[in-house]
A = this chain, B = another copy of it.
């Protein structure tokens, strides 16, 4: 007798059965929704440092990767670095781009909306008068960030806008960056 194995429903490459199972699991056990993400960073001299991304807490347990991910930061020569890697404010743009994209892909999948392609261009403005302490009225960080998505999907132009709005409505990085996050910083002697 042939056994019938259920193939998980997949939309946009996302396991939609898994997504709805996660939602059901969180409804049944709210505490499993608490996640703690972490990095450990080490200065390597001058403008270089590297973060190691390994374990995190989620679904009620400590979880780790089979191997850590290493993220290197540097600055370009005009900002007195050696240009060996993207700089911190570029990593921030990557975090935003990747989070908006994944958020729209997942939430579109949950709604059965198929997407063929997504690309985005991000640009953010920084006035160094802030960082260099030359003008107290100029902020140190980004004054504004512009994100332009190009999306290939079936349906009307309204559908394209609907997909993009799933990104801004659900993205954790978009929410963190536009609304702000309390950050506590402490220091001790090594």
Q: Which residue of B lies closest to A156 (CB)?
A: B189
Contact with B along A34-63 (1 / 0, CB 8 A): 111111111101110101010010110001
- The count of identical subunits is 2
A176 adjacent to B65 (CB under 8 Å): no
Interface residues on A, range: 35 or more
A61 → B minimal CB distance (Å): 9
Docked pose: A176 CA to B43 CA in angstroms? 22
A157 → B minimal CB distance (Å): 6
A80 adjacent to B119 (CB under 8 Å): no
B101 adjacent to A85 (CB under 8 Å): no
Q: Which residue of B lies closest to A79 (CB)?
A: B58
Docked pose: A92 CA to B53 CA in angstroms? 11
A172 adjacent to B27 (CB under 8 Å): no
Docked pose: A161 CA to B173 CA in angstroms? 29
Given contact pairs A19-B80, A37-B123, A40-B121, A145 touches B182 in the complex (Cβ within 8 A): yes
- Name 8 interchain pairs, CB-CB below 8 A, sorted by A: A14-B80, A34-B127, A36-B124, A43-B117, A69-B86, A71-B94, A103-B131, A146-B186
